[in-house]
Amino acid sequence: MKNKIEDLRNHLFDTIEKLKDGDMELETAKAVTNAAQTIVNSVKVEVDFIKVLGGAGEGTGFIPLDARKPNGEPLGEDE
Protein backbone atom coordinates (compact mmCIF):
# COMPACT_ATOMS: atom_id res chain seq x y z
CA MET A 1 0.00 0.00 0.00
CA LYS A 2 1.34 3.40 -0.97
CA ASN A 3 -0.30 5.58 1.69
CA LYS A 4 0.33 4.78 5.33
CA ILE A 5 -0.69 6.40 8.59
CA GLU A 6 2.59 8.35 8.62
CA ASP A 7 1.63 9.89 5.27
CA LEU A 8 -1.73 10.98 6.67
CA ARG A 9 -0.04 12.58 9.66
CA ASN A 10 2.40 14.38 7.38
CA HIS A 11 -0.43 15.71 5.20
CA LEU A 12 -2.33 16.92 8.26
CA PHE A 13 0.71 18.67 9.72
CA ASP A 14 1.40 20.20 6.30
CA THR A 15 -2.19 21.45 6.25
CA ILE A 16 -1.75 23.05 9.68
CA GLU A 17 1.48 24.74 8.58
CA LYS A 18 -0.08 26.08 5.37
CA LEU A 19 -3.14 27.31 7.24
CA LYS A 20 -0.98 29.08 9.83
CA ASP A 21 1.17 30.64 7.09
CA GLY A 22 -1.88 31.82 5.16
CA ASP A 23 -1.05 29.56 2.21
CA MET A 24 -4.33 27.62 2.44
CA GLU A 25 -7.94 28.69 2.70
CA LEU A 26 -9.92 27.55 5.73
CA GLU A 27 -12.45 25.72 3.56
CA THR A 28 -9.66 23.72 1.90
CA ALA A 29 -8.22 22.80 5.31
CA LYS A 30 -11.68 21.69 6.44
CA ALA A 31 -12.01 19.50 3.35
CA VAL A 32 -8.61 17.90 4.09
CA THR A 33 -9.53 17.20 7.71
CA ASN A 34 -12.93 15.78 6.69
CA ALA A 35 -11.23 13.40 4.25
CA ALA A 36 -8.69 12.44 6.93
CA GLN A 37 -11.49 11.73 9.40
CA THR A 38 -13.15 9.45 6.86
CA ILE A 39 -9.89 7.54 6.48
CA VAL A 40 -9.46 7.25 10.24
CA ASN A 41 -13.04 6.00 10.64
CA SER A 42 -12.50 3.32 7.99
CA VAL A 43 -9.31 2.19 9.72
CA LYS A 44 -11.21 1.95 13.03
CA VAL A 45 -13.69 -0.40 11.35
CA GLU A 46 -10.80 -2.42 9.95
CA VAL A 47 -9.16 -2.70 13.38
CA ASP A 48 -12.45 -3.76 14.97
CA PHE A 49 -12.90 -6.40 12.27
CA ILE A 50 -9.41 -7.77 12.89
CA LYS A 51 -10.18 -7.90 16.63
CA VAL A 52 -13.33 -9.93 15.90
CA LEU A 53 -11.18 -12.33 13.89
CA GLY A 54 -8.93 -12.71 16.93
CA GLY A 55 -6.05 -10.88 15.26
CA ALA A 56 -6.05 -13.25 12.31
CA GLY A 57 -6.42 -10.52 9.68
CA GLU A 58 -3.65 -8.70 7.90
CA GLY A 59 -5.53 -5.48 7.18
CA THR A 60 -4.79 -3.15 4.29
CA GLY A 61 -1.31 -2.14 5.36
CA PHE A 62 -2.34 1.39 6.34
CA ILE A 63 -1.06 0.67 9.83
CA PRO A 64 2.16 -1.38 9.59
CA LEU A 65 1.85 -4.85 11.10
CA ASP A 66 5.25 -4.49 12.74
CA ALA A 67 3.80 -1.84 15.08
CA ARG A 68 3.87 -3.89 18.27
CA LYS A 69 4.36 -3.43 21.98
CA PRO A 70 7.69 -4.50 23.49
CA ASN A 71 6.05 -7.75 24.69
CA GLY A 72 5.12 -8.60 21.09
CA GLU A 73 1.40 -7.81 21.35
CA PRO A 74 -0.12 -5.63 18.63
CA LEU A 75 -0.57 -1.97 19.54
CA GLY A 76 -4.08 -1.03 20.58
CA GLU A 77 -4.83 -4.24 22.41
CA ASP A 78 -6.57 -3.80 25.77
CA GLU A 79 -4.63 -5.06 28.73
Closest C-alpha among 62, 54, 75, 46 to residue 8: 62
Mean pLDDT, range 39-60, rounded to an integer: 82
pTM above 0.75, yes or no: no
| Residue 49 pLDDT | 84
Query: Which of helix, strand or coil describes residue 56?
Result: coil
Query: Measured between alpha carbons, how far is 56 from 44 in angstroms, rounded to an integer?
Result: 16
Chain segment 3-12, per-residue pLDDT in tens: 888 899 999 9
Chain segment 11-29, per-residue pLDDT in tens: 999 999 999 999 999 999 9
